[in-house]
Amino acid sequence: MGLNPEPCGWWFNKGRTKNGNRKQETITEMQEFYAAMVDRMDTRMRTLTLPNRKLGVTLAGFYIDEDPKSRLWLDKDGRQKTEIKTDQFLKALTHWSKRRNLPEHDHAMFFTILEVFENGQKKLRGYSPQSKICSNESVSIIQERLDFSTITVATHVLAHSLGARHDGDSNPCRPEDHYIMSPKSVTLTEGSILNMWNFSSCSSNSVGQNLKRLNEENANCLKNTPSVRRSKPHRQLGQMFDADVQCQHIFGETSYVCRSKYWSSYRGLCTGLWCSTNSGHCQKIIPADGTSCGRQKV
């Protein structure tokens, strides 16, 4: 996992120095945050139904590109990039990662707050080449909006590398059922509200077919035991950031939970967190995994 300088600056400015070493505290907070995020990606990935196995996600390493003059973030004229073009960036990232002494890994995922565009036109939250796991092109770029939906975005993008296609793309699964590989945001219903944490049967089928191909080619790197031990984070994200802080994380320091939306019970907060906005209205977001919601629920 890698990050470019901009998210680091956001974390640095949000930090509260405890022992005078602001930089190290910022890095420690980021490592805890992204370790917890990868843990929740792992939980989602394990909802794939595959023959005789489960796929998991383990954080192999954490890399911060602290050099603002890194060629990854400069255009051809040497100026700071203001956006990411996926075709150019992923080629550069592939070459860049080869020249770094990175930990052994199956997939390299980079996070940036710059906007990401495919073919210079279509704006994306993230991108990875299709079905390129276990190859030099097993890389991805994620736009980090510093909210908690990034977990699902990163899982969605990693699944593309594993072979998953969008629901409804040459398969019978419906985008409106809102599983992880839905290509668009849709209005959630009581029947689909929990699907956003799970993969559809179509995703399981396409990933299974890609893994079968890799096995036949004797190229399945996912059979290898990770060189790092998987460890559970001390806290889930929803315990690191309570509901009010999550609202502030996204909408600013004056935001808070719109408690009037939960007049009868906080059970609804498990699947939707209503936050006040700068305009005085309430807006619904996805709560962080592990957020307290209702009696003895997270």
The reply to whether 13 and 90 lie within a common domain is yes
Q: Give strand pairing partners of 74.
A: 80
Query: Is there a domain that residue 227 lies in?
Result: no
The reply to whether 112 and 72 lie within a common domain is yes
Query: Is there a domain that residue 23 lies in?
Result: yes
The reply to whether 276 and 177 lie within a common domain is no
Residue 54 CA neighbour count, 13 Å, CB half: 9
Q: What is the pLDDT of residue 151?
A: 93
Q: Which residues, at least 6 apart from 262, have a Cβ–Cβ distance to it below 8 Å?
A: 268, 269, 274
The reply to whether 117 and 189 lie within a common domain is yes
Domain boundary residue among 185, 217, 249?
A: 217
Which residues belong to the annotated binding site for Zn(2+)? 156, 160, 166
Query: Is there a domain that residue 17 lies in?
Result: yes
Domain of 135, in residue numbers? 2-217
The reply to whether 106 and 242 lie within a common domain is no
| Total domains, the chain | 2
Calpha distance 98→79 (Å, rounded): 24
Residue tagged 């383990």 (tokens): 58
The reply to whether 56 and 93 lie within a common domain is yes
The reply to whether 194 and 263 lie within a common domain is no
Residue type, 20: G
The reply to whether 169 and 274 lie within a common domain is no
How confident is the prediction along the chain (298 residues), in pLDDT tens digits per residue?
A: 877 666 666 666 665 555 567 778 888 888 888 999 999 999 999 999 998 888 999 998 888 877 766 767 777 777 878 888 898 888 888 887 777 778 889 999 999 888 899 876 778 899 999 999 999 999 999 998 877 889 999 999 999 999 999 999 999 999 999 999 999 765 566 667 789 999 999 999 999 999 999 999 999 999 887 766 666 777 889 998 899 999 998 898 899 999 999 987 888 898 889 999 988 899 998 899 999 986 645 4
The reply to whether 44 and 188 lie within a common domain is yes
Query: Is there a domain that residue 25 lies in?
Result: yes
Cβ proximity of 26 and 10 under 8 Å: no
Cβ proximity of 116 and 124 under 8 Å: yes
Which residues belong to the annotated binding site? 156, 160, 166
Q: At 42, which CATH number?
A: 3.40.390.10
Query: Is there a domain that residue 296 lies in?
Result: no
The reply to whether 254 and 210 lie within a common domain is no
The reply to whether 50 and 91 lie within a common domain is yes
Calpha distance 151→159 (Å, rounded): 12
- Record the pTM: 0.89
Strand, helix or coil for residue 50: strand
